Amino acid sequence: MDKIKEHDYIIIFSEGRKYCVKADRNRNFSTKAGNIKLKEVIGKPYGIEFKKHFIFKPTLEDILLFGLKRKTQIVYPKEAFYISHKLDLKSGSKVFECGTGSGSLTMVMATHVAPSGYIYSFEKEKKFYELAKKNLESFKLYNNVKLFNKDIQEGVRFKNFDAAFLDVKEPWRYIDLVYSLLKPSCMLGIIVPTTNQISQLMSAFNNKFGCLEILEFLQRYYKINPQRIRPDDRMVGHTGYLVFARKVIRKKKKND
């Protein structure tokens, strides 16, 4: 039975809300249900009820939604787990990512390619690079992420990737470069917030990518009341459009 150790992250669940907290024996944590001295939960098993709270071991989704420090909008779990599935990630996959942000998608993809695969993630903004690095180090989940503080337009010395993902403002500027990095038939994924960006992307593909798909996910929870089951008043609506396409190799014309 797993027991809570000092400095472990825990989920405190109270009155329908989750809190991701580090178990520091010198810290107290308060909710509407009362105050918890965290030193009192250290050594206890996960899953216990403690002073009108439930104490759980955080899942990866919990970490992304409630534990991750962020300065940018993250790729939400509703997209991140589907992206990893759609890119066909598995143990041993070598993945190129541009636009690390806070590192949420990086974490999900790293889980899917472990233990023998790697994520090569590039972030040109120093502040976001440092934040992603801190997030990855804080939760100590992965040793298969290679993080770079670099603009990929300056060049990438790695090639033969099994999948690629772009989360940048102007992804159409990177299509040719990503094409050169991917293995034939492999998948490119992109997330953008607006439809006009999709239009620019479609022009930039320029017959280099085929099997194009565009979609979005809306997530709606339901109220937990056996007598009145109905949709919650709020929902996680539009957070981005997902674009997927596969690298194609076209025969050269005789006059090329």
pLDDT in tens, 31-83: 989 999 999 999 999 999 999 999 999 999 999 999 999 887 889 999 999 99
The verdict on whether omega for the bond into residue 193 sits within 30 degrees of 0, i.e. cis, is no
Which part of the chain has CATH 3.40.50.150? 65-247
- Type of residue at 88: D
pLDDT for the residue numbered 47 = 96
pTM: 0.90
Within 8 A by CB and 6+ apart from 245, the residues are: 187, 188, 205, 209, 210, 211, 212, 213
Q: In the predicted model, is pLDDT for residue 209 greater than 90? A: yes
pLDDT for the residue numbered 71 = 84
Query: Is-contact 212 243, C-beta < 8 A?
Result: yes
pLDDT for the residue numbered 185 = 97
Within 8 A by CB and 6+ apart from 232, the residues are: 220, 221, 222, 223
pLDDT for the residue numbered 256 = 53
Q: In the predicted model, is pLDDT for residue 198 greater than 80? A: yes
Q: In the predicted model, is pLDDT for residue 217 greater than 80? A: yes
> Using 50, 70 and 90 to split pLDDT, how confident is the model at 155?
confident
What superfamily does domain 65-247 belong to in CATH?
A: Vaccinia Virus protein VP39 (3.40.50.150)
Q: Of the CATH numbers 3.10.330.20, 3.20.20.70, 2.40.10.10, 2.60.40.290, which one belongs to the domain with range 9-58? A: 3.10.330.20
- Type of residue at 7: H
Which part of the chain has CATH 3.10.330.20? 9-58
pLDDT for the residue numbered 53 = 95
